[in-house]
Structure formats: C-alpha cells, structure tokens
A and B are shown apart, each in its own frame.
Chain A
Amino acid sequence: MSTSTLTRKKSVNIVPVKKPVNWRRVGAWALVAVAVAVTVAPFLWMLRTALSSNHSLAANAGNLLPADFSLGAFKRVLGMQTPEEAIAEGGSGAAINFWLYLRNSVIFATVTTAGQVFFSAMAAYAFSRLRWPGRNVVFSLFLATMMVPPIFTALPNFLMIKNLGLLNTFAGMTLPFLFMTPFAIFFLRQFFLSMSREVEEAAMLDGAKHLRIFFQIVLPNAAAPLATLALLTFIGQWNEYFWPLLVGQDESVRVLTVGLGVFKSQSPQGAPDWTGLMAATLVAAIPVLLLFIAFGKKVVNSIGFSGIK
C-alpha cells in the first residue's frame, strides 16, 4: 500500500502542470461511476422487490420504489406468517424452514473454515519451519492438486461418502473441506516464510518445543494473514453450492444455497413468489455483506496477493 500512496503523490505533482482542465479525468470518473452503478443497482433492486407486495408487482414493474410497501415477504421467509397468509400474499404456503437452513449454513461454513485454516496452518508450519526428507516433493504434490478441477474429485468423493453411509450428515458435507486445501497451505506457508524467526530461535534455545512455538509464537504473529484466510474461506464456504447439492439434499442438513434453489422451484403454477425469493436471497446474503462491511478493506487488499502472488 505504501507504494500506491507514493505514486499518487508523485502524479499529483506532475499532472496539474501539464493538463490544466482535465476532461479525460472527468470522463474517467464518469465511467467509474457507471461501473459502480451497474454493480450496486441490482442489489438495490433486490431490496426494492423484497419490500413490495406480489400482487402489485406486475402493475408497477417499472416503478423504482417498492410497489405497495410491505414486510410480508420477509415475514414469509422467516416463517412469521401462517400458510394462509402466505398464500394470500402470493407465496407457495409451503414452509421453507429458513432458520434451519441458516443454522446449517452457519455450521457448515464455520466448521470447515475452522478446520481448514487450523490444519493448513499446521501443515504450513511443517513446510516452512521444519526440515525433513521429502518435504519439497510433498509440497509440490500438494500444489499440483490445485490443478485438479473440483468436479473430477467430486464424483469419487461422493461415492466414498455414500459408501461410508455419511450422505445427508454434517460429517459427509464437511469432511472433504475439513483438513486442507492446497491454496490455504500455500498462502500460509508464504507468510510463515516471510516472518522473522529470531524470536522462535531464541525460544528454541530456551528449550521450547515446536508445539509451543507454533501455538505461542507463530500463530499469534500470523494473526492477520490467518484472519484474512479465514474470512476468504468462510465466504467461499458460505457460498458453496455443488458439494452440498450432492451430499446434503435432506432438509435436516440442507444449506441456504441449496435451499434457495429449491425455494425457486417451489412456487405454485401461477406467478413465482418474486418478493419472497428476493427477500430470501437478501437475508441469505446478509452474513457475507456484514463481514464485508466490517472487514472489506482486508478482503479488497488481499485479492492481489491471493490471486497472483
């Protein structure tokens, strides 16, 4: 980030001398504004639809404000309406168990994130701080699996989970994500390698064991990258659709992404329950939106690193 502030200062010094009124700059800002509008407007439309009533939607399809303002859609999604009320408002009347799916999503995303980040950190420690024969071969093997497309392992993994009798259990849904991803290990190893070892070496001379060094020195010192990785992993897991679709169809373990797909096809023959659908997607996106509002800067600044370097 320090380099970017530097360049900005420099260009500010140069630019005014050369170009007095900068129409290009105005045009550039206009383009940025359009891009932001195109990105954000659909989310506002989602909110606008969720606050409308189904019956007034058709007549006011082009109206920018909610058509016949109502909280009915949110009530319907959150199970605060009786089936009769829901049907009267254009819903399907079938219970969608939003709270259950929400709980399942929280369990699924939290368990996989915690396991994956912790176990990957342990492995990254072994790859960056310990010397053992075959270390680089094993590391290359781990990295190579980044190339394998998820669908390729999904079929055999599904068969294994099925044979173990773990279909429609949290164990079956979380196990493939629980222990590691090549990316997480690579990401953390890079940070561990860049961290100073002075304190660790001093502790080692004092007779500290690796376990203690890992827990009391390395993990606390790497709190920032660990948090970034956990954040990215959590968002990714919260949004995961394919694997839960394969092994978690049952209501008791169904997560929000899968539940939303079902909710869409649940509408009766007539017009779909658009307001309910939009209210449901909005509520499902809220955890990610909250995380993003709280830690947005961290996510944004980590993109360059995680994507390229």
Chain B
Amino acid sequence: MTTLTKQQQDPAARARRPKAAKPVQKSLIHRLGDLKVALFFIFPAMIGFVLFYLIPTIRGVYLSFTEYSILGEPTWIGMKNYTAMLGDELFWNAMAVTVQYVGLNIGFQTLIALGLALLMHRVAKSTFIRGALLLPFLVANVIVALLWFWMLDYQMGIVNEIINWMGLPRIAFFGSEQWAIPTIAAVNVWRHMGYTALLIFAGLQSIPNHVYEVASLDGSSATRTFWSITMPLLRPVMVLVLVVTVIGSFQVFDTVAVTTAGGPINASRVIQMYIYQKAFGESDFGYASALSVILFLILALVAFVQMKFLKGNESDLD
C-alpha cells in the first residue's frame, strides 16, 4: 500500500505544477486538459465500473434492508434482517466454521510458505522449482477439490490406503463433522502454499544483500540474522501477504461447494456457502444481502486491523 499511495499523489503533484505557471487566459482550456480524449478512452471501463461495481454495491446495501424473494418488488423492512441475524443459529455456526477454517488455513499456509520462501531464497532459486510449486494454484479450485476428493476417499483413496497400511483406522475426511473443515483447509493449503511462498520470496529478494553481509561480518548466527534482520525487514511484505490471503480465505466457496456442499449437517457450511444457499436455495435475497454486508464489513475490519496493528505500511529499511 505504500507504493500505491505514493504513486497516486505523484501525478497529481506533477499535473498541478505547470498549471500555475501558465497565463490566465489559457487556464480554462488547461483545466479541462485532455478531458474529451480521456472520456473516450475511459468510457468502456466506466460502463463496467458503474454497472457492475458501483450500482451493485449500492443496490446490495439497499437490498439488505428489504425483504425480497426475486418475485415482485423488494419491501423495506429496516433493520429486521440484521436483528434476525442475531438470533440465527445457522449464521453464528457459519461464522464459527469460517473462522475455524481461516485460522487453520492461514496458520499452516503462512508457516509452510515462509519456510518454502526461505528455502527458495537460500538454496533453490531455479524457475523450474518455483514453477512446480506454483502449479496447484494455476489449476481450477474445482479440479483441485475433485482430485483430493478422490485421493481422500474413505474406501479407495490413496491416503486412506497409506493410513490403513500403517495399521491405523481409516478417516472419513469429507464425511465426518470433525474432519470436514480441517480437510478443506488442508486442501487449500496445498493449493496456495506455492503461490504464497512466491509472494514472500519476492519480498525476500527486495532485502538488499549488504544488510546480510554486514550481519555476517559482525558474526551474527543464521538464526539470529533471521529473527533480527530478515523478519523485521520482511514485515511489510508479510502483512500484505496476510491481508490478501486472509481476505481470500474468508471467501472460501468452490472447494466446499464441490466436496461437501456445507455438510455433513452444518459442519462445513462456511459463510459464503450460507449466503449462496439463502439466496439461491431459499430465494431470500434480502437476508443474503445483509449477510454479505456483514461479510464485507468483517473483511474491511480485518484489513484495517492488520494494516494498523502490524504497521504494514511502514518499512524498517529507511
């Protein structure tokens, strides 16, 4: 986000300066600048922005205050959707399940990715290895989900064959309430660990080499260097990675939809699955919109807290 805001301000400053220097009679023409041409160039993107981002956002907030079952017109019911949510056990269950998923998914994924990134940085810089690790991320969620659905099958899956061969009892990975969420979290750790590692790797590469050289000249051990140099300097990157991955993790849907569809019972009904079922299963678009407003607020809060609390927009390098 640092680079982002800087670049936003830059052209603004640049654009302002020559304006002041010009003679007064030219100022109107100058203020409009290339407006005509610009309108032409931005027109298609503007259509997309207004029709598919701006209006839906406003309409989504509006719908969350209505009762609307796709047939007929939405009726304004004020805060009723939100108050109903307070007493909705399925909603709280969905929240709990989602938080459990995010915790498991992000915890393991970040640790493994950090380890992989350090390995790539120290020993294995080859593009081939990085490519191999990225492979699962490029394949569709649906394909990854189906592949693991097969490998983790209770009767014939290779993983249960190995478990059985070791003399342990078979595990109903997708079929038992206690395993469903950890399994889905693990599948997505597998899919995202290479990608996350590459993001962190990019951050590691941006740490200038002379910092390490000074440390090694001072006789700093590898562990010490990692904790007192690598980690602090990597912090801004780690925060950004966490913001991006946590936000993505909260919106898990594809894997759940293909493997368990929210079951068994309510064990894996994550929040987006619940929104989907409310809207398209029960045609309750008002309530579903209220749920997505809450999800939106949670995501905004998570991003805000992470950026503030972890001081993601400050680097120790300066």
Contact = CB atoms under 8 A, between A and B. Distances in A.
A6 interface: yes
Given A28-B123, A261-B258, A281 B147 contact: yes
Interface residues of A, number: 105
Contact of A155 (B55, B135, B155, B279): B279
Given A133-B32, A147-B299, A210-B34, A285 B198 contact: no
Secondary structure type dominating chain B contacts: helix
Nearest to B149: A264
A159 B70 contact: yes
Contacts of A8: 125
A138 B41 CA distance: 13
B47 interface: yes
B151 A42 contact: yes
Given A39-B132, A264-B258, A179 B143 contact: no
Contacts of A156: 55-57, 59-60, 63, 289
A143 interface: yes
A260 B115 CA distance: 34
A223 to B, nearest CB: 19
Contacts of B133: 35-36, 39
A43 B52 contact: no
Interface in A282-309: 284-285, 288-289, 292, 296-297, 299-301, 303-305, 307-309
B201 to A, nearest CB: 7
A6 B155 CA distance: 52
Contacts of B180: none
B42 to A, nearest CB: 4
| Chain A CB within 10 Å, residue with most, of B49, B157, B216, B251 | B49
A152 B295 CA distance: 8
Given A14-B216, A49-B150, A241-B140, A147 B303 contact: yes
Contacts of B42: 122-123, 126-127, 138
Given A122-B41, A132-B35, A149-B295, A4 B288 contact: no
Interface residues of B, number: 109
B146 interface: yes
Interface in B8-60: 8, 11-12, 15, 31-35, 37-39, 41-42, 44-49, 51-57, 59-60
Interface in A8-47: 8, 10, 14, 25, 28-29, 31-32, 35-36, 38-40, 42-43, 45-46
Given A122-B44, A136-B11, A308 B199 contact: yes
A83 to B, nearest CB: 23
Interface of B: 3-4, 7-8, 11-12, 15, 31-35, 37-39, 41-42, 44-49, 51-57, 59-60, 63, 70, 115-116, 119-120, 122-125, 127, 129-136, 138-143, 146-151, 153, 155-158, 161-162, 165, 190, 194-195, 198-199, 201-203, 205, 209, 213, 216, 237, 240-241, 244, 247, 250-251, 253-254, 257-258, 272, 275-276, 279-280, 285, 288-289, 292-293, 295-296, 299-300, 303
